[in-house]
Structure 1
């Protein structure tokens, strides 16, 4: 790893024992829910990166959001695996099974280099993969170099287009959770983020979100990416997907920049909030199937 990356690194885990607790939880959950998945760790410019692959079909690469990874994305993985070969990437600098250091500087260039390496590890024959980015994962996906090696982008409740907006209700649920995490406080935060929609993996997410603030220094939502980085995707098939009740990246805030900067439309999922992939994962899978047919017909 070069000197610039070393200067920017920040350890996310509060202790070595805390890191072990988080990683043991993730390993156990993947073995429980996805027993046939191929689990492997590859060397990348940002350190060891964990890949979870399941399903058969066209390649999809899933980049989860803040504080989430493969072990906490199983509803969407299951929805996609019916039609795709899904590889979920634990982001370096987020709690999970990848490197526990977080970049602070030169994020676009470093993520671009990292994602090029990861896609090289995943891509095989056939049409180029779709990249699905959720929240923080969407901002990371947008840092990639556009080109024929990426068939299309699906940006779910995406960061990177606009800044996060936290309302009073979300803040009131977040601060007590950060200060003294308990299951009730984690459950309240999740319910607030879901905006009343039923969370399919509520028990697992509540357990996870009780562990995270105890053992991990959580990251903030990223700032919007520079316009030239975003507008470079105008010739790539792209779709934004957002819940109608998203409190952080509402559809009324995303639709205009998505159209102007990316030249893509926005799919709004009724009765869903920010935890869209945990309350309506098949809505995202349907968008992926449509975009895959479009990309396949154009190759």
Structure 2
């Protein structure tokens, strides 16, 4: 599938921005206590860098797809909890800040990402995997083709089922970050994404400040066609959960579509906003243990 890609520096404002983001990711990976390896694979969306951690322990491997603005370096708290029991793979999604290609699909975005994942999974594991998708990553998982290579589906803060509804304040901050590359809005954006009780650490604040300074934001994922989502219902174990305080994908808006499209009940993660992979990594690990 030939996919038109963005031009110039891709998602980065300039070459220096690309260098800063990639250096930050590599430094985070080097100084964290998760033993891992990085592999670069060629895919329909260009070069894809994949973090691999953990060893085989009799349980299916986990492929973790981060949400918008996240990647392997920023989801290490979740990887740390999973890699003792599972082999874990975390691809940096092309077109999102990280170590993969900086060019995002220009048209048919989720369809292109689905084809990307169809191509990537056989390169990661010969045995069926547990596919864990967060936010944009969940929409990408649902856009892929159901197959024997996927043993179960865990969707967290899932995009693709309903439109995202950013508050007016968050929309203003995102618009300001597009117009003004000097940054300064990252910490304020986090206040709209996190639970009121969660205090962002310096690492996460630095990352979001870098995003607003060095990267152009992507459009929110669109709602997927009903037939695309319904393909998964009844085919394999599925768990869907969102944060109690997720203001982009509120539990009350997700509950009925999850039930009608996927034939499962939505679970709510207490004391959690939109960034579950950072706020409540233990909750993500617990969801995986609850798979049949």
User: Which TM-score applies when normalising by structure 2?
Assistant: 0.91
Aligned to 2:113: 111
In 1, distance between residues paired with 2:30 and 2:157? 28
**1:70 pairs with 2:72:** yes
Deviations 1:30-69 (A, max 9, x none): 1111552011111111100010011123300011111111
Corresponding residue for residue 160 of structure 1? 160
Q: Give the direction of change, closer, same or farther, for the CA distance of 1:174–1:218 in structure 2 (3 Å limit).
A: closer
SS at match of 2:185: helix
Report the more deviating stretch, 254-263 or 104-113: 104-113
**Alignment correspondent of 1:13:** 12
Contact preservation (8 Å) 2:114, 2:143: yes
Aligned equivalents of 2:174 and 2:215: distance in 1? 15
The residue aligned with 1:138 is 138
Q: Does 1:251 align with 2:251?
A: yes
SS of 1:282's partner is helix
Q: Which residue is 2:201 aligned to?
A: 202
Post-superposition Cα deviations, 1:239-279, rounded to whole Å, max 9, x if no partner, equal 11111111000111111111111112211011211122211
Distance in 2 (CA, whole Å) between partners of 1:34 and 1:24 is 18
| Alpha-carbon offset, residue 116 of structure 1 | 1.6
CA RMSD of aligned residues (A): 1.9
Q: In 2, are the aligned partners of 1:162 and 1:254 still within 8 Å (CA)?
A: yes
Which structure 1 segments of 5+ residues have no match?
295-299
Q: 1:14 to 1:181 in 2, by over 3 A?
A: closer
Task: Say if 1:178 and 1:204 are closer, same or farther in 2 by CA, change over 3 A.
Answer: farther
- Matched residues in 2 for 1:167 and 1:35: separation? 36
Task: Provide closer, same or farther for how the CA distance between residues 108 and 208 of structure 1 changes in structure 2, counting only shifts above 3 A.
Answer: closer
* Structure 2 SS opposite 1:233: coil
Cα offset for 1:82? 2.8
TM-score (norm 1): 0.89
CA shift at 1:179, angstroms?
Answer: 4.6
Q: Note the residue ranges of structure 2 that are not aligned, 5 or more in a row.
A: none
Q: Write the mapping of 1:1-299 to structure 2, written as runs, cut at 5 A.
A: 4-5=2-3, 7-10=4-7, 11-34=10-33, 36-56=35-55, 57=57, 58-125=60-127, 128-171=128-171, 173-180=173-180, 185-199=185-199, 202-234=201-233, 235-291=235-291, 294=292
Which moved further from structure 2: 88-97 or 104-113? 104-113
* Shift in alpha-carbon separation, 1:189–1:107, aligned structure 2, 3 A: closer
